[in-house]
């Protein structure tokens, strides 16, 4: 029995090429049971005429489906649904499973705290003035070479690296590049045995918290600081001690006694962007060696410094072996990559590797090998150089725009990064400010999520320039200034 061409409907606005959409349409028909084994498909000429596409497009789709055993070709007779094609379930699926009768509130053990979300719209790309932090600018990303590296990673020569279960091991090519090229730029000497690849910096911080903290131990965090870290620490039920940062970052003298772990972003503090001075870094390390606590250094965005000589990493100054170094490719490549690394003494890496293996074995081999090629072939450094130059120009434009608009609430910081940390006038709630600005096409990030609950702050916000073209910065900043002036005036009257 032949399936009529009229059984197919092609969505002109669907995703993918015409060929892919035709294949997906046929596969869905077979998997749903509408097209059964042995039934003859429409001729390529008839289907092409019905869909309004070229005959070769349909023929290529048919050929690909034959290769995947959805269809079989029978000479001049045409194409038929294969007897070996995946079949629809032989039983009728229920329409609705209904609500569970179990008391899940009682059955679930320790609750995962709801993350402290930085308020930003999902469709931020559709706004005219997206001052959004940490997202990838498609004009700066090297699509072509990333694609070529991905193709190389899926080649027959790399079959083992792509398909094997490597248990707890990481990609040796990626680890080698980190050890020989990335870490020396931060003054860090390490061997492959000191490196563990992670699913981004968030996963690295989680591993550190799980291994170093218990309900009886105390962790020091920066205030304001990275919201994701605070969420991680809540799950360990440890004692959390927020320490207010100043123009030099975390002050070591304010740590207090009884500290077990200190989490710090010395080279580029999150979110104020200030850099910890060298003498303060040495003071922190001396205190760590004297009191016997661990320092976890999150060295995000170090590649985006505009200065030729960046401040040395804490890990490079660590003579007592008390620093765990966390790095990530999220800001320099793209956040969806979810690839980072930990550098630490062997004893810690071994335990972290064992813990990681119980959860996810290792980050996907394809992602690791693709990144390894992208780094080792020089594409990574070329992209960093391109981003650094573009960000520097945008920062200069932003500084001029802020001055012209009379916005003087930016925290002074070292040259580098991709954002400003701003303070609104007294009485201005930046959550309300952000919601009002969206109606004008402007997206900013309110800063209250960065502060500890015991020290709430509604006046700060983050203004990033990584995802907005330079030509739109001045107008966007002026809209922010106008909205802030209106909010300040209303607050003064109230």
pLDDT in tens, 9-23: 887 777 888 889 999
- Name the CA radius of gyration of the chain, rounded: 27
Closest CA to 328 of 188, 195, 180, 200: 200
Closest CA to 480 of 377, 407, 383, 399: 407
pLDDT in tens, 198-222: 999 999 999 999 999 999 999 999 9
Q: Is the dihedral of CA 341, 347, 353, 359 positive or negative?
A: negative
**pLDDT band for position 284 (cuts 50, 70, 90):** very high
**pLDDT band for position 293 (cuts 50, 70, 90):** very high
CB-based contacts of 90: which residues, under 8 Å, 6+ apart?
none
pLDDT in tens, 333-342: 888 889 999 9
Q: Rounded to an integer, what distance in angstroms lies between the CA atom of residue 453 and that of residue 376?
A: 44
Closest CA to 372 of 201, 120, 181: 181
pLDDT in tens, 27-45: 988 888 889 899 999 999 9
Question: What pLDDT score was predicted for residue 116?
Answer: 67
Question: What pLDDT score was predicted for residue 408?
Answer: 77
Phi, psi of 164 (to 5 degrees): -75, 150
Question: What pLDDT score was predicted for residue 110?
Answer: 67
Scanning the structure block, which residue is given the tokens 């071994």?
350
Q: Is the pLDDT of residue 304 over 90?
A: no
- Distances, alpha carbon 218 to alpha carbons 31, 123, 160, 242, 260, in Å: 55, 39, 44, 10, 5
pLDDT in tens, 414-470: 667 889 999 999 999 999 999 999 999 999 999 999 999 999 999 999 999 999 999
Cα angle 421, 426, 428; round to 5: 75
Outline which parts of the chain fall under CATH 1.10.10.10: 5-81
The class level of CATH for 5-81 reads mainly alpha
**pLDDT band for position 1 (cuts 50, 70, 90):** low
Outline which parts of the chain fall under CATH 3.90.1150.10: 124-134+381-493
Outline which parts of the chain fall under CATH 3.40.640.10: 143-377
- Percent with pLDDT over 90 in the chain: 67
Q: Rounded to an integer, what distance in angstroms lies between the CA atom of residue 144 and that of residue 216?
A: 51
Report strand pairing: 218-223 vs 261-264: parallel
pLDDT in tens, 90-108: 767 666 666 778 888 788 8
Cα angle 182, 337, 206; round to 5: 80
- Percent with pLDDT over 70 in the chain: 94
CA atoms within a 13 Å half-sphere pointing along the CA-CB vector of 343: 29
CATH code of 143-377, in short, is 3.40.640.10
Question: What pLDDT score was predicted for residue 115?
Answer: 64
**pLDDT band for position 127 (cuts 50, 70, 90):** very high
What's the mean per-residue pLDDT of the chain? 90
CATH ID of 124-134+381-493, from 3.40.630.30, 1.20.810.10, 3.20.20.450, 3.90.1150.10 = 3.90.1150.10
In the DSSP assignment, the letter for residue 194 is: G
| Helix, strand or coil, per DSSP, at residue 163 | helix
């Amino acid at each position: 029995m032949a399936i009529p061409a009229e059984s197919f409907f092609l969505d002109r606005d669907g995703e993918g090429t015409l060929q892919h959409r035709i294949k997906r349409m046929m596969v869905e028909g077979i998997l749903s049971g509408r097209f059964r084994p042995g039934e003859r498909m429409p001729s390529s000429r008839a289907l092409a005429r019905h869909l309004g596409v070229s005959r070769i497009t349909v023929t290529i789709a048919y050929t690909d489906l034959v290769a995947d055993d959805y269809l079989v070709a029978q000479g001049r007779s045409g194409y038929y649904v294969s007897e070996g094609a995946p079949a629809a379930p032989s039983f009728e699926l229920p329409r609705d499973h209904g609500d569970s009768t179990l008391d899940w509130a009682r059955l679930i053990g320790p609750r995962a705290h709801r993350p402290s979300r930085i308020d930003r719209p999902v469709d931020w790309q559709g706004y005219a003035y997206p001052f959004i932090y940490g997202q990838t600018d498609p004009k700066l990303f090297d699509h072509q070479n990333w694609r070529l590296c991905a193709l190389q990673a899926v080649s027959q020569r790399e079959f083992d690296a792509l398909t094997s279960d490597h248990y707890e091991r990481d990609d040796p090519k990626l680890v080698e590049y980190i050890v020989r090229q990335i870490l020396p730029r931060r003054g860090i000497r390490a061997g492959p045995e000191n490196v563990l690849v992670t699913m981004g910096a968030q996963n690295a911080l989680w591993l550190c918290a799980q291994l170093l903290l218990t309900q009886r131990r105390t962790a020091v965090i920066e205030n304001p600081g990275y919201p994701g870290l605070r969420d991680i620490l809540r799950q360990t039920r440890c004692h959390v001690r927020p320490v207010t940062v100043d123009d030099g970052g975390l002050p070591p003298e304010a740590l207090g006694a009884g500290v077990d772990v200190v989490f710090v972003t010395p080279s580029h503090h999150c979110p104020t962007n200030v850099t910890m001075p060298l003498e303060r870094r040495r003071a922190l390390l001396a205190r760590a060696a004297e009191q016997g606590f661990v320092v976890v250094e999150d060295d995000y965005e170090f590649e985006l410094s505009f200065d030729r000589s960046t401040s040395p990493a804490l890990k490079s100054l660590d003579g007592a072996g008390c620093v765990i170094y966390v790095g990530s490719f999220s800001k320099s490549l793209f956040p969806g990559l979810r690839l980072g690394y930990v550098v630490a003494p062997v004893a810690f890496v071994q335990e972290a590797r064992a813990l990681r293996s119980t959860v996810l074995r290792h980050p996907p081999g394809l992602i690791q090998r693709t990144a390894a090629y992208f780094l080792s072939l020089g594409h990574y450094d070329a992209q960093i150089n391109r981003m650094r130059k573009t960000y520097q120009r945008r920062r200069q434009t932003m500084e001029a725009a802020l001055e012209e608009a009379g916005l003087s609430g930016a925290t002074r910081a070292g040259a580098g990064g991709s954002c400003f940390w701003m303070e609104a006038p007294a009485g201005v709630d930046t959550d309300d400010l952000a919601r009002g600005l969206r109606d004008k096409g402007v997206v900013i990030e309110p800063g209250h999520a960065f502060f500890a609950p015991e020290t709430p702050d509604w006046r700060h916000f983050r203004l990033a320039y990584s995802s907005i073209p330079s030509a739109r910065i001045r107008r966007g900043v002026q809209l922010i200034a106008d909205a802030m002036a209106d909010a300040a005036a209303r607050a003064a009257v109230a």
